[in-house]
Amino acid sequence: MVSNASNTLVRRAVVWSGRVQGVGFRMAARSVASRFTVQGVIRNESDGTVRCELSGAGPELDRFIEAIEARMDQYVHDRHESAPGILAIPTKGFDIV
């Protein structure tokens, strides 16, 4: 059996800053998620950022993140990756908390 590294499931945590709260960012992310094979959870943080924890194939996660940023470009000023594991990722779908 040949292993395909692009299909290996990974977990990532992404934090966006800018004007990302109060603009429908989390709802937009859930809508975008419906077009990708990802599982995740997204929430507003007390510092004004939005944190998203994801699981899926690496390339699929990259495309999902790019799609969110394309849709919400006018609100995002910065993105960085954080240590994953703070939020419980659902086994299916994409949740807003």
The span from the CA of 33 to the CA of 50, in Å, is: 15
97 within a domain of the structure (yes/no): no
Mean predicted confidence (pLDDT) in 68-91: 94
Give the number of C-alpha atoms closer than 13 A to the C-alpha of residue 33, restricted to the C-beta side. 22
Q: Is residue 73 in some structural domain? A: yes
CA 84 from centroid of its chain's CA atoms:
11
44 catalytic? Reply is yes
Q: Is 57 inside a domain boundary?
A: yes
22 vs 2: which has the higher pLDDT: 22
The predicted structure's pLDDT at residue 54: 96
Query: Does some domain include residue 72?
Result: yes
Which of these, 12, 18, 26, lies nearest to 59 by C-alpha position? 12
**Whole-angstrom distance, CA of residue 27 vs CA of residue 81:** 20
- Selecting among 43, 44, 63, 71, the annotated active-site residue is 44
Active site residue 26: yes
The predicted structure's pLDDT at residue 7: 73
Report if residue 40 sits inside a domain: yes
